């Protein structure tokens, strides 16, 4: 069973949430993952547009085969609205509920969000990684901040994402001819390892398979509750 560290309360003000990020970001470690990577997980959260309901989902795959081993989701309530830069406070509580039910312990977790490519260097992937003390990778469809040069068109091409003279991630072409993904380390992983794993998880689609499947899982759960 995955162990969850209780580092702070989740129902906090915007000001307190920012202060928590500023305190915890110094604990983020960027290092090569230890041991073989056998299982990768993807996370995603779907939200109701009319209520405070949220659905959190996690899919675990065998790596590098990308064979699905486990799918879990739960429904809950979000006590905070979405605030740019504070996504983790809205989504991590429901994701932790799912994680506590997993039977497979993932070696790496891919998050639909940012890692250190974040205004305070502490995006959702960093926060989740620190709470679980596991390697995490941020893999987002859009840029939150930073500058980058043109990316090659072929799959596997990437260019560094810069902010204030530091590399905070990479802009990666995960499929030829489609928009790139924005990849950044979360916790206990280097940018080089993050790119290696993300590219290894992209066989047919732009979005890495673990995140793509988690996205499909939570949206199917949300759609199933709509009146037909």
Is the pLDDT score of 137 beyond 70?
Answer: yes
Q: State the pLDDT at residue 50.
A: 86
Residues facing 43 on adjacent strands: 58, 111
Domain edges within the chain: 14-224
166-201 exposure pattern, b = at least 16 Cβ within 10 A, e = fewer: eebbbbbbbbeeeebbbbbbbbbbebebbbebbbeb
Say if residues 161 and 149 touch (Cβ distance below 8 Å): no
Percentage, residues of the chain above pLDDT 90: 89
Is the pLDDT score of 226 beyond 70?
Answer: no
State the pLDDT confidence band at 21, using cuts at 50, 70 and 90.
very high
Arithmetic mean of pLDDT over the chain: 94
Enumerate helices (H) and strands (E) in the chain, giving the number of each: 5, 8
Is the pLDDT score of 228 beyond 50?
Answer: no
Is the pLDDT score of 118 beyond 90?
Answer: yes
Q: 14-224 belongs to which CATH class?
A: alpha beta
Window from 11-20, 55-64, 76-85 with minimum mean pLDDT: 76-85
């Amino acid at each position: 069973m995955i162990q969850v560290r209780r580092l702070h309360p989740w129902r906090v003000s915007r000001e307190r949430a920012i202060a928590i990020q500023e305190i915890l970001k110094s604990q983020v470690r960027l290092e090569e993952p230890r041991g073989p990577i056998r299982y990768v997980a993807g996370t995603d959260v779907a939200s109701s547009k009319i209520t405070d309901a949220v659905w959190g989902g996690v899919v675990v795959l065998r790596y590098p085969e990308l064979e699905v081993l486990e799918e879990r989701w739960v429904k809950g309530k979000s006590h905070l609205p979405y605030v740019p830069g504070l996504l983790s406070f809205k989504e991590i509580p429901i994701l932790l509920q799912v994680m506590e039910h997993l039977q497979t312990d993932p070696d790496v977790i891919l998050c639909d969000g940012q890692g250190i490519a974040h205004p305070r260097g502490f995006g959702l992937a960093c926060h989740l990684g620190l709470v679980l003390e596991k390697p995490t990778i941020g893999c987002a469809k859009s840029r939150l901040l930073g500058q980058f040069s043109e990316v090659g068109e072929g799959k596997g091409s990437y260019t560094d994402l810069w902010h204030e003279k530091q590399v905070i991630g990479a802009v990666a072409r995960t499929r030829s001819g489609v928009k790139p993904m924005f990849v950044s380390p979360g916790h206990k992983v280097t940018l080089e390892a993050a790119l290696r794993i993300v590219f290894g998880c992209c066989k047919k689609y732009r979005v890495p398979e673990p995140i793509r499947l988690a996205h499909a899982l939570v949206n199917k759960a949300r759609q199933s509750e709509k009146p037909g």
